[in-house]
Amino acid sequence: MKNIYVFFLLIFLCNCTIAQNTYKENCKRSHISNSTQRVNYFQYPTMNKYDIKYLKLDIAAEANNYFISGSCYTVSQAVSNVDSFVTELKSNMTVDSIFVDGVNKTFSQSNDHVIVKLTPSIPANSFFSVIIFYKGTTISNSGVYAGTSSNNTLSYTATLSESYQAREWFPIKQILSDKIDSTDIWVTTSNTNKVGSNGNLLGIDNLADNKIRYRWHSNHPMNYYMPSIAVGNYQEYKNYAKPAAISPDSILILHYIPNSQSFLSSNKTNLDKTPAFVEKLSELYGLYPFYDEKYGHSTAEIGGGMEHQTMTTMCSSCYGESIVAHELGHQWFGDHVTCAKWNDIWINEGFASYSEYLMAEKLPNLFSTTASASMLSVHSNVMRSSTGSVYIPDASVYDENRIFSSRLSYDKGSAIIHTLRFEMQNDSLFFKTLKNFQTQFKDSVATGEDFKNVAEATCNRSFADFFTQWYYGQGYPTYNVTYYKSTANTLLLSVSESVSASNFTSFFKGLLELKITSNQGDTTVLINLNSNDQIFQFNYNKTPTGIVIDPNNWIINKNGTISNSVILPVKILTFTGSSSNCNYLLNWTTTNELNIRKYEIQFSQDGINYNTIGTQNALKDSENNYVFTFNEPNLANCLFRLKVIEENGSVFYSNAINIFSNCIIDFEVSLYPNPILNNEIFLNIHSNHTGINQIYLYNSIGQVIKKGNVEVKKGLNNPIKWNHLGPLSKGTYYIKIINEEGQQINQKLLKN
């Protein structure tokens, strides 16, 4: 959307801050006086009974004037039986007459709706037309902005309908899911004006009394808040974009700007960046969706920018490269594909904001600041508060200050896209995801979940944790790192995190870059953080001098404590186990225990989920021996590991050991390693029969990617190696083993 400031600060901020071309788009509405009314916003459910196919506005409007008069003609299709035609229009606007299928109808106006009883009703699937003749003086700066600008001689009247203000100036059904298939917008005005609007300009008609009529037409579907007009004493400035996909054809870039040579001179540089942005975003997102019509800008003091389809409306001080890139990015994200609900405004604002970053990254010579500096600023703004989700909770969907929060919808929305790109570790897949999303939901609406599903299908992996943490969740992590050389060629990193909103998001899983600084040269490593106090070991023969957390600013985070441990870590010399009479016997020996508080003994059946089954306080002798017994007669085999807890609370884990028991003879299977290594696994099969077992390996969508047979004997079999599984891509897999009696066992496998 837009960059709308609180009304009483509007003039100061636009003329001072924005004039420096450092304007950061901010969607705070200027008409705060209507906020309470929108909290109780009401729509008649009857409007869901029809689908608008065509809209024609034929209206009269003058620059610097809030009065609008004319007609609104729609052709709709009944979704179900329509016994009343209901549309929205503010009560301060006067309806003169209404015709349904050419028949003059009686009507009523109440609660900012117009209601026409239909007798007989219109049956489902039928098409019907409605024309409403209306007029009125619109409410100042609520859907319509009008005035003059003394510093550039501009006189203007312009509309801004997002999110609930289309009804301020024309009759319309304000439901996001109902996109209007095609549109005509005709505007009559004085012949000293020009009129910017959506689509192609079909013609300019000369009329009596020094009037002219602009006729704009669009064949592309658009949402209810996209139809727009900008009337003013403009000059016209053109340039052309030439995306490679339509070479040698070009796209018209049409600018209606104040009729001032000094204005053109001071803004021409940034206006001329628009074609390069169109061309680059066409490479990254797919061809500009409205290439057969145009793109451009109309100027009016609306307090910021608004991404009207094919012709953005901009305040006169808003032509900085970042906002030009942002509003253009909306043509894909917001216009071509629109959020299905205001809860998912991220589809519009998060991606438009990330378009700013991408243009600074891909076209650095066109920007005064670097992409990395802009992302660092974004992160800082997000972390001004410890809470807040990108997703808009239901309680806030009529609160425009929450919907268009610069911190959450814009900055955090763009930052988590950057993090998702990092999680994919593949720019080709990242941009393929964006293109697939545009293709799948073109001319339609989508949710954050829809984007998640496209990303998962494109990358063949789950992003459930990512969206739970970053999209629906709140807060950010603070990382703590302890580093120490355990040998001359080994570096250990202990990584933990605290979170800013633990009541909402208790942990942020995911990839993290760490730069190990050294006078012998820096080294950047990539870790996958799945739990607190993980230990990571690297071959490293340098002398470390420090750690830089997230050196490339992929993740919203703060730095916690970074320390170089001077206490030798505990060394687990041995960790073994055996079974006897349904008991599991564990033995381990250690040294260097001065910094160890205790051990937790943990057990697992699947190698993923571990439970603590006992504790042992550290003996702290020079060399220590431990014995632990665990009785579980219902399991044929178990995985065991040690959770080592240091005096300062830090944690790391031993390697896991697998122990088998012949206590039972039920059909049971365990496998390792999990996650898969080297495209091979080992199967431990405890069988109650001698015979042939069938083995199947499935991917996450149920396709069989390998199958085979193994011969097993009654009782516990030696580990069976099953190799040549791949190469397998990262993701989740499932293995099924069927014995001769038809008994089945299914287990989940991971490939990192």
When computed from its CA atoms, the radius of gyration of the chain, rounded to whole angstroms, is 32
**Which CATH number among 3.30.70.250, 3.40.50.10070, 2.30.110.10, 2.60.40.1840 corresponds to the domain 477-564?**
2.60.40.1840
* E strand or H helix that includes residue 494: strand 490-499
What is the rounded CA–CA span in Å between residue 556 and residue 204? 51
Of the candidates 32, 34, 72, which has an alpha carbon nearest to the alpha carbon of residue 56?
72
Is the Cα dihedral 438, 440, 445, 449 positive or negative?
A: negative
Q: What is the CATH number of domain 571-660?
A: 2.60.40.10
Question: What end-to-end distance do the CA atoms of the chain give, in Å?
Answer: 39
pLDDT for residue 507: 95
CATH class of segment(s) 7-335: mainly beta
Tell me which H or E stretch contains 275.
helix 274-285
Domains 341-474 and 477-564 share a fold: no
Q: Give Cα 518 distance to the centre of its chain.
A: 37
Strands lying side by side in the sheet with 127-137: 103-105, 94-100, 127-137, 67-78, 50-60, 182-190, 211-218, 200-207
Select 341-474's CATH number: 3.40.50.1100, 1.10.10.10, 1.10.390.10, 2.130.10.10: 1.10.390.10
**Full DSSP string of 376-435:** HHHHHHHTTSS---SSPPGGGTT-HHHHT-IIIIIIIHHHHHHHHHHHHT-HHHHHHHHH
Residues in the chain: 752
Taking CA 167 as the corner, what is the angle to CA 164 and CA 173, rounded to the nearest 5 degrees?
Answer: 85
**Three-point CA angle 551, 328, 350, nearest 5°:** 45
In SS3 terms, 683-740 reads as EEEEECCCEEEEEEEECCCCCEEEEEEEEECCEECCCEEECCCCCCCCEEEEEEEECC
Question: In angstroms, rounded to a whole number, what is the distance separating the alpha carbons of residues 205 and 216?
Answer: 12
Q: What digits encode the pLDDT tens for the residues 533-568?
A: 788 889 999 999 999 999 999 999 999 999 987 545
Q: Which two tokens stand for residue 669?
A: 């299977």
pLDDT score for 712: 85
Q: What parts of the chain have a pLDDT lower than 50? A: 2-39, 567
Give the pLDDT score at 14.
34
Domain limits of the chain? 7-335, 341-474, 477-564, 571-660, 668-751
Quote the pLDDT of residue 28: 33
List the CATH code of the domain at 668-751: 2.60.40.2550
- Quote the pLDDT of residue 324: 98
The predicted model scores a pTM of 0.75
What is the Cα–Cα distance from 376 to 558, expressed in whole angstroms? 11
pLDDT of residue 39: 42
- Within a 10 A sphere around the Cβ of 523, how many other Cβ atoms? 15
